[in-house]
């Protein structure tokens, strides 16, 4: 897979997707949005891939929208802006709903839409030096598209304050808010990400996919229909080949022989 704005490397069963526009702090443009969508669609369907690590090249993780792209937006019609925003939404949704677990290796700053990328990861590991901000408000716009994905991680009161002020906050605050799961020194970042990869590898691959759907359904269904969904789903998975293997392995005190597909 050859891309202009990112790299994708697969080692054993781990794919590492790296935003590769360091000269603009990995800011979004149309090409990056399209390539991320394509890349995660491909990886999600690849039976050889068990885990995806998302990171960035250079000083920042992702600075949000590219300035050159924003200059063009000034002259867009409302319809063109709507179409453009739909592509951005599709990118986030593709990553969020990817059947493979996504680990965010957040090595640097994340602003605006960059926080949206952080929010769609299943596990996020950051460094103390990083800074975040919902900076859209300073441009007279709002973090509209990313709010769908940020909202499950933040309290409404935190969203209200941070969306309105656009204030910068550090990794410790990002962790407290729920945007980062782990904060570790830069020298421990790769080892911590690897530990997360190893944890994921020991989990049932189909079960991981179903967990992501389970959480999605929680936000989509009313209480009664969600409960009905959970009853049907656990019954389905208990008799599935993976469920049978996992339960049998536990009873036999051995590691399960997961089959990835």
Given its phi and psi angles, is residue 166 left (phi above 0), alpha (psi -120 to 50 degrees) or beta?
left
More confident: 16 or 68: 16
28-71 residue pLDDT tens: 999 999 999 999 999 999 999 999 999 999 999 999 988 887 77
Options 3.40.50.720, 3.90.1150.10, 3.30.470.20, 3.90.226.10; CATH for 6-201 is 3.90.226.10
**What number is the average pLDDT over the span 4-32?**
95
Cβ within 8 Å of residue 202, ≥6 positions away: 255
Burial class (CB in 10 A: 0-12, 13-18, 19+), 23: exposed
Task: Quote the CA–CA distance of 104 and 180 in Å, as a whole number.
Answer: 9
Query: Across the strands, what pairs with 54?
Result: 17, 104
Tell me the mean pLDDT in the region 214-221. Answer: 93
The answer on pLDDT for 164 being more than 90 is yes
Q: Check whether 182 has a pLDDT greater than 80.
A: yes
129-138 pLDDT, tens digit per residue, is 999 999 999 9
Sign for the CA dihedral angle at 87, 89, 14, 215 comes to: negative
10, two tokens: 């697969």
The pTM for the full model equals: 0.94
């Amino acid at each position: 897979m050859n891309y202009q704005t990112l790299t994708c490397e697969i080692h054993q069963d781990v794919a590492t997707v790296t935003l590769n526009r360091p000269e603009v702090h990995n800011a979004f443009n149309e090409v990056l949005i399209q390539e991320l969508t394509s890349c995660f669609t491909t990886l999600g369907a690849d039976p050889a891939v068990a885990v995806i690590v998302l990171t960035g090249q250079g000083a920042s993780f992702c600075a949000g929208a590219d300035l050159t792209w924003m200059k063009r937006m000034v002259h867009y019609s409302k319809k063109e802006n709507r179409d453009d925003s739909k592509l951005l939404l599709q990118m986030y949704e593709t990553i969020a709903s990817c059947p493979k677990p996504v680990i965010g290796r957040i090595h640097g700053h994340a602003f605006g839409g960059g926080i949206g990328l952080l929010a769609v990861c299943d596990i996020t590991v950051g460094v103390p030096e990083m800074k975040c901000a919902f900076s859209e408000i300073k441009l007279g716009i709002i973090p509209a598209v990313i709010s769908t994905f940020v909202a499950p991680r933040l309290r409404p009161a935190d969203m209200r304050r941070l969306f309105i002020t656009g204030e910068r906050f550090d990794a410790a605050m990002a962790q407290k808010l729920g945007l980062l799961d782990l904060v570790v020194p830069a020298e421990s970042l790769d080892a911590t990400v690897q530990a997360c990869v190893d944890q994921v590898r020991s989990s049932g691959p189909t079960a991981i996919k179903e967990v992501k759907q389970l959480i999605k359904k929680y936000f989509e269904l009313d209480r009664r229909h969600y409960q009905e969904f959970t009853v049907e789903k656990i019954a389905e998975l208990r008799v599935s080949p993976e469920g049978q293997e996992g339960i049998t392995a536990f009873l036999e005190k051995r590691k399960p022989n997961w089959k990835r597909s």
